[in-house]
Structure 1
Amino acid sequence: MGKQEDLEKKKGLPPGSLVYVGDEEASVTKISVIDYKGNVIEEKSVDTIEEALSYTKLDSVTWINIEGLHNKEVFKGVRDIFGVHPLLIEDILNTEHRPKINVLDNYVLMILKMVWFDPEEIDIDEEQISLIIKDQTIITFQEKEGDVLDPVRQMIRQNLGNIRNMSTGYLVYSMLDAIVDQYLIESERIASDIEKIEEEMVLHPDQTVLQKIYNYKNVGMFLRKQVWPVKEIITGLEKTKIIDLNTGFYLKDVSDHVIHVMDMVEMTHSMSTNLLDVYFSSVSNKMNEVMKVLTIVSTIFIPLTFIAGIYGMNFQYMPELDEHWAYPVVWGIMIAMTMGMLIFFKVKRWF
């Protein structure tokens, strides 16, 4: 079932209904838990949301990751046991949702987009990731297996950067940092690819290159739409009790990265627009060269056609026709006129 059909299915249902809107990617819902405090860490996969949520009662930081958004029982558990409002559950299930942050009294919901650039198709693959932060627990929701958060998992497993001794807010920062770093990597990759096609476009300004330019322009616009709300999310997150003073400094670094990404995205858009201008200029110059050659050929043949027209007339008495050398003389005149005109055009630098 496609997204349009899912949206149609929601029509007439009460607010907060558990209807998934997205691609049918995950056939099985997978739930994993990483629970840590200091030198103690436990990582495991669980079968039920109830087992995962039992870790929230411990005095430690708990990261519950849910892959696959089709299992209604999982969301009923998050709604009933964890106390998340049904309307926010509905937002998580709608993978077409705009990135945003909702700050409530005892928990926070963040919706973000993870992106991957496909250089072959010149397109952006994106996946929504939703985070619920409550006390010392973070629940992440993904459409399918695979994300950009593996560096964060490795930091926790190997206890890099003292992450296990930091607060829940630091884990939120680490996840945001990984997502924004991916934005930066992909935006730089896009900019690099645009530079590569510039020479190709100047040498061979055909429809294939034009389509590539339009695709890059669309990719830049899509990336900007996903990145721009992240600044608003960070601003909202800074005002919550989740972020302490120490973590706030790290979060400002992510904010700087977002600005950098936005600069890269704007540069990508500007480069694409400039390439379009260069493309049309190249096509125009190529057309001008063709017209120049055709004009020179036409100009050369005007006097030749005149001479041929005169001696092609069916008059009975034409004195030149009785001369023995008339034919080669006419040819000589025509050749001389052609050479003279070519020399004249060359002196004028018309070609």
Structure 2
Amino acid sequence: MTIEEVPEVVEDLVLEHASLLVNGTHTEHPTWVEIKAAMDSNQLMWLDCATPDQGDLERMVKLFGIDDEMLSDSADFNQRTRLSEYDSYVLLVAYGVAADARTMMEVHVYVMKNRVVTVRNGPCPPVELLHDRADKMMTPTTTVPAILSRILSVLVGTFADALDTVDEELTELETSILHDDPSTSQIEKLLDLRKRVNTFRRAVDPARDLVGAGRFVIIDALADVSEDARRHLRDLAVDLAHVGDQVESERDRLSAVMDIYMNQVNYRQNDIMKKLATVSTVFLPLMFITGFFGMNFAFLVRSVNSSMAFLILGIGLNLITIIGSLYVMKRRGWW
């Protein structure tokens, strides 16, 4: 369906959890009539919608002339980072990270001539903050690539913040591992951090490859790319490269901390075995002495028949053996 085939009459319903930015103005919860009027003005517009239902997606398909694939593309989140080309638009699936440095925020960006439509699976504060800058973003000289670059820039920025948080948590965990005994909670925390970093990597690497491969030239066919937009896209490529390097750095640190944890576990086990060996070494001669004198040889029965003999052989010899064993182990640094 093309734009010319869009019906003139649009339902006068409110699009909940949405924002319409056009001509430097920002409208919260616009009606479909307002959205259609913005389209008819042929001005640059950005429609940002969070958690649309099936009916909202069907109206977008009808109003914007988007292929029916949108119904499946944006009804099914948890997709990989990708860039898909269609006849009249380009779909970019991008990700950001929430303030908790854990939750992934998925954003589907539909890029058309003079129009940008973003569909989100939930709140996305960095994108929502752009709404308040409508007067600066939506100027007569603003182009579609400029809006796209700003949306992607704020999403990429969330990865840098999340990785800083992960780095701080990893530093605290490393200190805990070095100063405390190894525990199950430490390895659970370490595995959780590794899972989060790997999730970031799966979102960042494809985006970095897309920018590095120069596939954003597709946007040139949809709208003029201003020098300001080109600068933002170059900055975006640099930011993605830095974030990608930071992800790899955190993965290396995680591997190093995992090695430290395993070394601490081995050291702990060796220390326990050393203490057990020390106790065994002390008691080994005692067991020999008590076993020897516990045998009823005629010589022993006749010779050990006084209190003095008992004190010397039964107690004194054991004390001398214990003190001697401890002295030798201390001199050799065994304990």
Q: TM-score range by the shorter chain?
A: 0.7 to 0.9
1:189 equivalent in alignment to 2:168 = no
Tell me what 1:217 maps to: 194
1:204 has 2:181 as partner: yes
Secondary structure of the corresponding residue to residue 122 of structure 2? coil
Residue-pair matches, total: 313
| Inter-partner Cα distance in structure 2 for 1:270 and 1:264 | 10
Cα offset, 1:144, TM superposition? 2.5
CA–CA separation in structure 2 for the residues paired with 1:341 and 1:164: 90
Unaligned residue ranges in structure 1 (runs of 5+)? 1-27
- Asked if 1 retains the 8 angstrom alpha-carbon contact of 2:47 and 2:116, the reply is yes
**Alignment correspondent of 2:295:** 313
User: 1:96: Cα distance to partner?
Assistant: 1.8
Question: Paired residue for 2:219, among 240, 255, 259?
Answer: 240
TM-score normalised according to structure 2 size: 0.86
2:116 aligns with 138
- Determine the structure 1 residue equivalent to 2:72: 90
Q: Distance in 1 between matches of 2:30 and 2:146?
A: 28
- For residue 338 of structure 1, the aligned residue among 319, 322, 327 is 322
Change (3 A) 1:238 1:327: farther
Tell me if structure 1 keeps the 8 A contact 2:16–2:29: no
Identify if the C-alpha distance between structure 1 residues 225 and 156 changes in structure 2 by more than 3 Å, giving closer, same or farther: same
Shift of 1:272: 1.4
Flag structure 2 segments of 5+ consecutive residues without an equivalent: 1-14
Map Cα deviations across residues 144-170 of structure 1 (whole Å, 9 max, x no partner): 23432134223334x38x966422221
Q: Secondary structure at the match of 2:154?
A: helix
| 1:51-79 CA distance string (max 9 Å, x none) | 31320222432111112222x23222221
CA contact (8 A) 1:107 1:133 kept: yes
Give the AA of the match of 2:109. L
2:18 matches 1:31:
yes
State the alpha-carbon separation in 2 of the partners of residues 338 and 298 from structure 1. 11
Aligned partner of residue 83 in structure 2, secondary structure: strand
Q: TM-score, normalised by structure 1?
A: 0.82
Instruction: Indicate conservation of the 8 Å contact 1:31/1:48, yes or no.
Output: no
**Which amino acid is 2:46 matched to?**
W
Match of 1:13?
none
Find the counterpart in structure 2 of residue 60 from structure 1.
43
Asked if residue 173 in structure 1 is aligned to residue 149 in structure 2, the reply is yes
Compared CA separation, residues 243 and 93, structure 1 to 2 (3 A):
farther
Picking from 256, 261, 277, the partner of 2:259 is 277
Tell me the amino acid that sits aligned with residue 106 of structure 2.
Q
Of residues 147, 153, 158, the one that matches 2:131 is 153
Residue number in structure 2 paired with 1:128: 106
- Cα separation, 1, equivalents of 2:45 and 2:226: 21
One-letter code aligned to 1:345: M
C-alpha RMSD of matched pairs (Å) = 2.2
Identity of aligned residues (%): 18
Pairwise CA distance, 1:316: 5.9
Alignment partner for residue 244 of structure 2, among 247, 262, 278?
262
Change (3 A) 1:152 1:328: same
2:97 is aligned with 1:103: no
Alpha-carbon distance between aligned partners in 2 of 1:208 and 1:171, rounded to the nearest angstrom: 44
**Which amino acid in structure 2 is aligned with residue 321 of structure 1?**
V
SS state of the match for residue 81, structure 1?
A: helix
Cα offset, 1:243, TM superposition = 6.0
| SS of corresponding position for 2:98 | strand
AA paired with 1:320?
Answer: S
Q: Distance in 1 between matches of 2:281 and 2:194?
A: 43
* Cα distance in structure 1, aligned partners of 2:100 and 2:308: 73
Q: 1:322 aligns with which of 287, 305, 326?
A: 305
SS of match in other structure, 1:181 = helix
Q: Deviations over 1:269-299 (max 9, x none)?
A: 1111221111111111111111111111101
Equivalent-residue separation in structure 2 for 1:284 and 1:115 (angstroms): 36
Per-residue deviation at 1:117?
Answer: 5.8
Please state how far the C-alpha of 1:108 moved relative to its aligned partner.
1.7
Distance in 2, matches of 1:166 and 1:316, equals: 111
C-alpha contact (below 8 Å) 2:92/2:108 kept by paired residues: yes
Sort the Cα spacing of 1:322 and 1:142 in 2 relative to 1 into closer, same or farther, 3 A: same
**Deviation readout 1:64-103 (Å, 9 max, x if unpaired):** 1112222x23222221221111113311111021121123
Partner Cα distance (2:77, 2:86) in 1: 21
Query: Which residue, 58, 62, 66 being the options, matches 1:76?
Result: 58
Cα distance in 1, alignment partners of residues 273 and 65 from structure 2:
73
Q: Which amino acid aligns with 2:34?
A: E
Give CA-to-partner distance per residue, 1:162-194, whole Å, 9 cap, x none: 966422221111111000000111012112211
